[in-house]
Amino acid sequence: MKINWFPGHMKKALREIEGQLKNVDVILYVLDSRAPLSSINPSLNKLTKDKAILYIFNKYDLSDKERVSRLAKDFKTQNSDYVFMNSTSSGASKVIKSKILSLSKEKLDKAKAKGVRAIIRAIVIGVPNSGKSTLVNNLCGKAKAVVGNRPGVTKTTKWLSIGDNIEVCDTPGTLYPNLENQDTAKKLYFIGSIKDEIISDVTLLAQDFIDMTKEKYYKNLVSRYGEDLTIETIAKKRGYLLSKDEYDLERASSAVLDDFRKGRLGGITLD
């Protein structure tokens, strides 16, 4: 089974983002810290190339912090910076405002020299469900954008003022037309960026998740499921039955992925 999800609203959103990028000063690139490299959208690479970018390692609270700290170092360049973030924690976005202002220093200095007031425009982009709208609400200090724990909640772009002369644009989560790298596609599914309903073999994928993580995060898995890390054993141990002698593997699989997504396996980073 090939994993691919690129509905019409995403195609439209990519076009809208492309249009907006010409008028923005800073990109707030929201990465999911549980798979930050897989959260980079190759169809946006050309468009973001010469822009000031603040990479937001969001859902840092659910990740392997040591691993993420190491990966993040490569994201600081002359034109880009990064920050670790838990967007659900109130007030945590203060540092983002100050980084937006430092990345826009040239524009601010020019405006100051002319004696005019500059408006800094920042656009929030990232894969579905990475926490873009939650971050925007955190920056606003108010629940202005709709959020939800499933991919594809935001369907259109929306500009909001967050004070300090900064405006931010929330955008729909975007993937790309062809998820050729299925290793990346699987990781995006595990972190909840791909609609669950399009996945037909959850059992196979949940076993893949265990196999992908068991080397580095063996202790995390064993402390929740025991030594035998197969979906069948997990279904048996939990008493998930379809009938008297058939185990409900799908239920056990969904439970494993839900454990990961809710952070019940501890901090894990798949990249």
Ligand X SMILES: Nc1nc2c(ncn2[C@@H]2O[C@H](COP(=O)(O)OP(=O)(O)OP(=O)(O)O)[C@@H](O)[C@H]2O)c(=O)[nH]1
Decide whether 21 or 153 has the Cβ nearer to ligand X. Answer: 153
Element (H, E) at 103: helix 94-103
Angle 185-231-215 (CA atoms, 0-180°, nearest 5)? 65
Q: How far is the CB of 150 from ligand X (least distance, A)?
A: 7
Write out the two tokens for 155: 């369907």
Q: Which does 138 bind (CB under 5 to 8 A by kind): Mg ion, ligand X, none?
A: none
From the centroid of its chain, how far is CA 168?
Answer: 18
Q: Are 241 and 247 in contact (CB under 8 A)?
A: yes
Q: Does 191 bind ligand X (CB under 6 A)?
A: no
Decide whether 153 or 212 has the Cβ nearer to ligand X. Answer: 153
Q: How far is the CB of 43 from ligand X (least distance, A)?
A: 15
Element (H, E) at 123: strand 120-126
Decide whether 107 or 155 has the Cβ nearer to ligand X. Answer: 155
Q: Does 174 bind Mg ion (CB under 5 A)?
A: no
Q: Does 169 bind ligand X (CB under 6 A)?
A: no
Q: What are phi and psi of 81, to 5 degrees?
A: -145, 175
Q: Does 133 bind Mg ion (CB under 5 A)?
A: yes
Member of 101, 153, 204, 212 binding ligand X (CB under 6 A): 153
Binding to ligand X, residues 119-148 (CB under 6 A)? 126, 128-134, 147-148
DSSP per residue over 25-72, as a string? SEEEEEEETTSTTTT--GGGHHHHTTSEEEEEEESGGGS-HHHHHHHH
The secondary structure of the chain in percent helix, strand, coil, rounded to multiples of 5, reads: 45, 15, 40
Decide whether 59 or 251 has the Cβ nearer to ligand X. Answer: 59
Tell me the residue nearest to ligand X as measured from the CB. Answer: 173
Residues that bind Mg ion (CB under 5 A): 132-133, 153-154
Residues that bind ligand X (CB under 6 A): 58-59, 61-62, 85-88, 126, 128-134, 147-149, 151-154, 172-173
